[in-house]
A and B are shown apart, each in its own frame.
Chain A
Amino acid sequence: DVKVTQSSRYLVKRTGEKVFLECVQDMDHENMFWYRQDPGLGLRLIYFSYDVKMKEKGDIPEGYSVSREKKERFSLILESASTNQTSMYLCASSLGGNRYEQYFGPGTRLTVT
């Protein structure tokens, strides 16, 4: 079974802090994705990566950056957290190619105060 893990289930940070969210997958998937999910807005893609050291902007990249130094690990960075970044953050991975399903981690609920 595909396993996608995220570093924290719940996280509380203060405005202006730098925040790191880590995601690890164990199935040698090429693609990894970061989404945020908010009530009424659904899942929105922040960044994704096709390969190590490659990244592509999604629909809402502002205020975020990512890092993929190893194939199995994809990190989301909030350079200076703001209250409007309070959300559920979901990491997903998939094999390369658009016919392949995405598998999600358990999510990190981030609260910025």
Chain B
Amino acid sequence: QKEVEQNSGPLSVPEGAIASLNCTYSDRVSQSFFWYRQYSGKSPELIMSIYSNGDKEDGRFTAQLNKASQYVSLLIRDSQPSDSATYLCAVDIDRDDKIIFGKGTRLHILP
């Protein structure tokens, strides 16, 4: 059973600090990795996609991928209360068009 693992949290981070969210996956052939943000009662919203080893930056968000270690992370710089949400990691499986989602990490930014 291919899996995507995330710490469920809650992860509490002071406003203005860096929030670090981690995700590990089991399928060595996975090629595509995604981070989604989900506010309570809302649907997931795509934040970042990453396909190559290394870092990818978009505004306050940085995705980091290490395929050898099979982990992907999301850093949020200058955390804001509006960043409080559940963050879902998603990974492609079996080289088909499906992706598998982790159960998410709840992030709480402390004002």
Interface residues of A (CB under 8 A from B): 31, 33, 40-43, 45, 48, 50, 58, 90, 94, 96-107
Assuming A42-B104, A99-B51, is B43 touching A104 (CB within 8 A)?
A: yes
Which residue on B lies nearest to A103, using beta carbons?
A: B46
Minimum C-beta distance from B90 to chain A (A): 8
Residues from chain B with a CB closer than 8 A to the CB of A106 are 42-43
Measured CA separation A113–B98 after assembly (Å)? 32
Residues from chain B with a CB closer than 8 A to the CB of A90 are 43-44
Measured CA separation A39–B95 after assembly (Å)? 28
| A98 & B99 in contact (Cβ 8 Å cutoff) | yes
Looking at chain A's contact residues, the main secondary structure is: loop
Which residue on A lies nearest to B92, using beta carbons?
A: A98
Which residue on B lies nearest to A2, using beta carbons?
A: B46
Report if B101 contacts A (CB, 8 A): yes
| B97 & A101 in contact (Cβ 8 Å cutoff) | no
| A40 & B44 in contact (Cβ 8 Å cutoff) | no
| A98 & B42 in contact (Cβ 8 Å cutoff) | no
20 more A-B residue pairs beyond the given contacts A94-B97, A99-B32, A104-B45, with a C-beta to C-beta distance below 8 A:
A31-B97, A33-B98, A42-B88, A42-B102, A42-B103, A50-B97, A58-B98, A90-B44, A97-B97, A98-B31, A98-B95, A98-B96, A98-B98, A98-B99, A99-B51, A100-B32, A100-B97, A101-B46, A102-B34, A102-B99
Report if B80 contacts A (CB, 8 A): no
Assuming A41-B103, A43-B101, is B42 touching A107 (CB within 8 A)?
A: yes
| B88 & A43 in contact (Cβ 8 Å cutoff) | yes
Measured CA separation A105–B51 after assembly (Å)? 24
Measured CA separation A41–B31 after assembly (Å)? 24
